[in-house]
């Protein structure tokens, strides 16, 4: 998949907006705590699914070789470039389901 693909560019813009919204939601949780809101948890799970799609798409997206300025189509080289230089670890951190890992506030009884 070429980086100039319109569908890929649209997906990336959508991911940027979702990332901004996710950051705002996470700041909300940090500031005001996490109440067991099922809709909020479901929303964050959908965002995590989009991060997984982003990770998978990155392994199939060509990149320009910095030495020859040509598109690289070899899957092994694309994966190596993405893992070493392309933000793979940042995407994996974004994909971690923090709502299941972090402790939840329990309602007072």
User: Which value, to the nearest 10 degrees, does the dihedral of the CA atoms of residues 36, 40, 46, 50 take?
Assistant: -110
Let me know if 2 is exposed, middle or buried by CB neighbors in 10 A (0-12, 13-18, 19+): exposed
C-alpha 109: how far from chain center: 37
Q: What local confidence, expressed as pLDDT, does residue 76 receive?
A: 93
Question: Can you give the residue ranges of every domain in the chain?
Answer: 6-101
Neighbouring residues of 8: CB distance < 8 A, sequence distance ≥ 6: 1, 2, 57, 61
**CA-to-CA separations, 64 to 21, 22, 67, in angstroms, rounded:** 30, 30, 9
The structure's pTM equals 0.68
Q: What local confidence, expressed as pLDDT, does residue 28 receive?
A: 78
Counting as low any pLDDT under 50, the low residues of the chain are 109
């Amino acid at each position: 998949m070429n980086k100039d693909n319109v569908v890929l560019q649209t997906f990336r813009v959508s991911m940027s907006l979702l990332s901004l919204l996710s950051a705002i939601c996470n700041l909300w949780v940090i500031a005001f705590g996490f109440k067991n809101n099922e809709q909020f948890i479901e929303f964050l799970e959908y965002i995590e699914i989009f991060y997984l799609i982003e990770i998978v798409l990155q392994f199939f997206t060509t990149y320009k070789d910095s030495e020859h300025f040509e598109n690289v189509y070899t899957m092994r080289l694309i994966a190596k470039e993405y893992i070493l230089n392309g933000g793979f670890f940042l995407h994996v951190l974004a994909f971690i389901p923090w709502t299941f890992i972090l402790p939840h506030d329990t309602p007072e009884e």
